Amino acid sequence: MLDFFASTLKSVEHFNLYADLPGYVSPSVLTGDELRPDLLITLENKCIYILELTIGFNEECTKYCIRKIIKTCIRSTYYILCKRDQEWNNQQLMQY
């Protein structure tokens, strides 16, 4: 995901792009620290924009998200089936 953002923004002019990825200038050049944002953009008017991905995109996260989506779909389908001839109430369908 970070690579997508960085490669997309790389072609835009009038700013400097720093990314915590191989092939890009590291944001630690500006922050001076190992704890650096994932992506940092500096504009000519001295504004800085920072992008920090809060959830790493890896296999473990993907399996968890897919499992939650499937459970929500199954519960929603069951609820719709049960209420097909009835008035809908405000059910807490999406709670886990």
Number of H helices, E strands in the chain: 3, 3
Q: Are residues 80 and 43 in the same domain?
A: no
Q: How many CB atoms lie within 10 A of CB 48?
A: 14
Task: Say which amino acid occupies 58.
Answer: N
Give the pLDDT band (50/70/90) at residue 89.
low
Domain that holds residue 90: 58-96
Q: Residue type for 84, please?
A: R
Pair (37, 77) in one structural domain: no
Structure tokens at 84: 């097909």
If asked whether residues 63 and 47 sit together in one domain, one would say no
Number of domains composing the chain: 2
* Average pLDDT, rounded, for the chain: 77
Q: Could you tell me if 53 and 2 are in contact, meaning their C-beta atoms sit under 8 angstroms apart?
A: yes
Q: Are residues 10 and 45 in the same domain?
A: yes
| Helix/strand/coil for 15 | strand
Instruction: Give the model confidence (pLDDT) of 3-24 as tens digits.
Output: 888 888 877 778 888 888 888 8
